[in-house]
Every structure is written in C-alpha cells, then in structure tokens.
A and B are shown apart, each in its own frame.
Chain A
Amino acid sequence: MYNAGKILIGLAIFFGLATFPFFYNMGKAVAKPDPKLDTPEIMKLAKQDRKCVEPKEFMRAEHMQLLNNWRDSVVRDNVRVYVNSEGKKFDMSLQNTCMRCHSNKKKFCDECHNYMAVKPYCWDCHIAPKEKES
C-alpha cells in the first residue's frame, strides 16, 4: 500500500468524525415526550366526560389521518359533523373543537412533534389557543 501512514491517519480521523455523535451521546437518554392533558378546560369536565373524540390509543396512532379526513370533508365536501364510535357528534374543527379542550399546544402538540422532528404546518394558518396550563 502506497502512503499507508497518511491513509491510515485519514481513515482514523474519518471514523472518529463519523462516529462522534454516537460516542458523544452514549449513555445519555433524551427525555421521553410527556404530553400534558391537564388543561383547565379538561379538568373542568366530569371524570367520565374526559374523553377525546376517539379512544386514546386510536388518537395516538391515527390523529393525523383523522385530522386529514376532517379537513378534506369540511373544506371540500362541506360535511362538518363527526359521529364518533360511541355515536357522539362533534363539529369537525381543529381550532374550535380540538384546541378548545387542548389549550396547551406547546405541551400537547409540540411535545411529541419536536421529539419526532415532524413539523406539521397546521399553525402557519390556524391560530393556536392562548397557552394554558393547569
């Protein structure tokens, strides 16, 4: 091998740089997101009424599809009443239905979105509620 010394030093530097983030963060756990559900609006409700439009597990996994369907239905078809799996009816509106209870966008939406590094553009236009915490 020609120039073995230079190549080996170069390789060592390259590996050092390439694996630096892994070594640097080794053993450090990033805090798990902890979305808060204790806004004054939710706490005001009776215990059995503290339910989202669909069960927690469904909302956790599917809220983006649900919101997409709501948006298409309202804007394009003018169909704006949602009947949930229990037969309860809701006005399909991010600003006026979702955020009326979840008046803590930073602790509710952003908490997980930042952790997952997703940037939905909802709030470019939709107005976030005044931040309230319990």
Chain B
Amino acid sequence: MSINRRQFLKIAGISTILGIGGTAVVNGLRKGDLEASQMEPNPEGLTAKRWGFVVDMSKFKSEADVKRVIASCHDIHNVPDFGNPKDEVKWIWKDDYEHVFPGQENEYATEEMKGKPFMVFCNHCAYPACVRVCPTKATFKRKDGIVMMDMHRCIGCRFCMAACPFGARSFNFRDPRGTDANGQPFIKHLDPEFPTRTKGVVEKCTGCYERLAKGKMPACVEASNGGIVFGDLEDPNSEVRKLIGKNYTIRRRPELGTQPSIYYIIGGNENA
C-alpha cells in the first residue's frame, strides 16, 4: 500500500500533536505527584510582595529602648559579642544622625536630633548591591523582598561587605562559639532553636525569616513598642504605607539607587 503526500502529512501532523500533548500531560501529572505533594509552605506564614520597615524616631527616647530592641534580636539569633569594634558582629545597632544620613548633616540641628539613637539594620534594598556581587548566590533576594543569607553557601569572600553602602554586614573573623580571655562565651544567651554561624562567613539581619514563616512579626518590631513598624510596602492599605503617606520620611542614601526598604520618620507629626 502506498500513501500519497496528503495522507502522509495528515498522519505526521496528528502524531506530532498527540506526542506533544501526551508528554505535557504525563509530565504535569508527575510533577504534581512528586513535588507539590511533598513540600508546602507553612500556611501560617506571613507573606508580602515587598517587606519594609518604618522607624519612628519619636518612640526611641532613652538608651533602654535601644538596648531592649538590640537584645531582642541578638539574643534569639545567637549573635556573638566579641567585645571589640574590630571584630564586631551586628544585626541591628544604633548610630548618630550624621553617620546614618551622611550628606544631610546640619550644623544647627537641634541638640535632641544630634544625640538621637537611630536604629540601623539591613535595608533589604529593592536592588541590593550585595546580591549583585555575591559569587556563590549565598546572599539573594527572596520573592517577598527579604535579602536573605544562605550560610551553607557563603565562602567568606566579603564582596558583599564591600558592596553594601550601609555597613549592614559583619564578618566572623573569630569563631563565634569560642570564649574570650576570661573563659566567657561570646554568645551570652544561646538559643537552641536557631543556628550559630561559623568562623569565615558573613552575616546580617535576615528580616526574621524564621519568625515570618511562623506568622510572627520580626523580633525588633515586637520589642520596639511601635518604634519599628513592619509591613508590605506594595500594599497601599498596609500600616507602613499609611505611615509613609502621613509623615515625612527619609531613607538612607537613596541617591545610590538601591531603594532601601527602611523609612525613617524623623520629626514626628507636628513638625513633619
């Protein structure tokens, strides 16, 4: 039996369509079987398009407010205290106005503003410089905007520290599990639910990703009594967006174009 050109094209066309359709259906089913049913995100986890912070400076009145907020973070994340500024590891810390907002110094600024302890931590930039330079993708941007650290991948090259314009990153020059000259451990309160780091990796604020996944707010937000507000910057009805809409806010070094996600309310409502 011989077939003509027309019949051959018909058969070839139909079998191609069946072939493509067939594999797509089979692959689709197999994918569902293996991946979707084996792992799933925590249903209680908080989600957002772009997490951001608003720091309301009027809520930071005394040294105790600052210490409480720093301790709330450093205690649960096993951040070591090496006791000297050269080896210092910090996730959240305080600094003066002129150091937090360089280029906006004001020689006649009020005494109050000069002494104010500005809370600074990773800005979780929309276009993070650290992520661009990381050669191993150990630091990366999550879908919800958190700039995350994967300590398993960090090789300690410190490119990210050179790239970050905010000094938000610290390198472990020493073993954080070690002890100082007096035999005191560098990590004062060891939290058994969170890992430590090892010598030779870079660390920073991770936006309390482990708390977000359980439906909790970041530790600093909880400890600050409203001084730090956390929410979705892409959601116009979120608390952070309302605060940014109502108050005059500034960000650290916006001219660099990394789009930091921490907004500072400097003056309070009446003199905004």
A interface with B by C-beta (< 8 Å):
69, 71, 73, 75-76, 78-83, 91-92, 95-96, 121, 124-127, 129
Contact A79 B39 (CB under 8 A): yes
Distance in angstroms between the alpha carbons of A91 and B215 in the assembled complex: 14
Contact A83 B195 (CB under 8 A): no
Contact B39 A82 (CB under 8 A): yes
B151 within 8 A of A: yes
Which listed residue, B41, B150, B195, B213, touches A95 by the CB 8 Å rule? B195
Decide: A125 near B196, CB < 8 A? Known: A75-B148, A80-B213, A83-B37.
yes
Interfacial residues of chain B within 172-218, with CB under 8 A of chain A in the complex = 190, 192-198, 209, 213
Contact B39 A127 (CB under 8 A): no
Looking across the interface, which residue of chain A has its beta carbon closest to that of B176?
Answer: A125
B43 partner residues in chain A, CB cutoff 8 A: 81
Greatest chain A CB density within 10 A among B45, B142, B152 is at: B152
Distance in angstroms between the alpha carbons of A129 and B143 in the assembled complex: 33
Looking across the interface, which residue of chain A has its beta carbon closest to that of B213?
Answer: A80
Decide: A83 near B40, CB < 8 A? Known: A78-B209, A95-B193, A129-B192.
yes
Looking across the interface, which residue of chain B has its beta carbon closest to that of A75?
Answer: B150
Greatest chain B CB density within 10 A among A69, A71, A81, A126 is at: A81
B166 partner residues in chain A, CB cutoff 8 A: none
Question: What's the dominant secondary structure at chain A's contact region?
Answer: mixed
Distance in angstroms between the alpha carbons of A76 and B142 in the assembled complex: 8
Contact A78 B198 (CB under 8 A): no
Contact A126 B40 (CB under 8 A): no
B2 within 8 A of A: no
Contact B37 A78 (CB under 8 A): no
**Size of the chain B interface, CB-CB below 8 angstroms:** 27
Distance in angstroms between the alpha carbons of A73 and B38 in the assembled complex: 11
A69 partner residues in chain B, CB cutoff 8 A: 39
B204 → chain A closest CB, angstroms: 15
Decide: A92 near B192, CB < 8 A? Known: A75-B152, A125-B151.
no
Contact A71 B41 (CB under 8 A): no
Which listed residue, B42, B78, B192, B194, touches A80 by the CB 8 Å rule? B42
Which listed residue, B45, B142, B143, B195, touches A126 by the CB 8 Å rule? B195
B140 within 8 A of A: yes
Contact B41 A78 (CB under 8 A): yes
B152 → chain A closest CB, angstroms: 6
Between A and B, 19 residue pairs with Cβ closer than 8 Å are A71-B152, A75-B148, A75-B152, A76-B148, A78-B45, A78-B209, A80-B39, A80-B42, A80-B45, A81-B41, A82-B38, A82-B39, A83-B38, A83-B40, A95-B195, A96-B193, A125-B151, A125-B198, A127-B78
Looking across the interface, which residue of chain B has its beta carbon closest to that of A125?
Answer: B195
Looking across the interface, which residue of chain A has its beta carbon closest to that of B152?
Answer: A71
B141 → chain A closest CB, angstroms: 11
Distance in angstroms between the alpha carbons of A91 and B151 in the assembled complex: 20
B170 → chain A closest CB, angstroms: 15
Interfacial residues of chain B within 17-67, with CB under 8 A of chain A in the complex = 37-43, 45
B198 partner residues in chain A, CB cutoff 8 A: 121, 124-125
Looking across the interface, which residue of chain B has its beta carbon closest to that of A93?
Answer: B193
B49 → chain A closest CB, angstroms: 14
Distance in angstroms between the alpha carbons of A91 and B193 in the assembled complex: 13
B142 → chain A closest CB, angstroms: 6
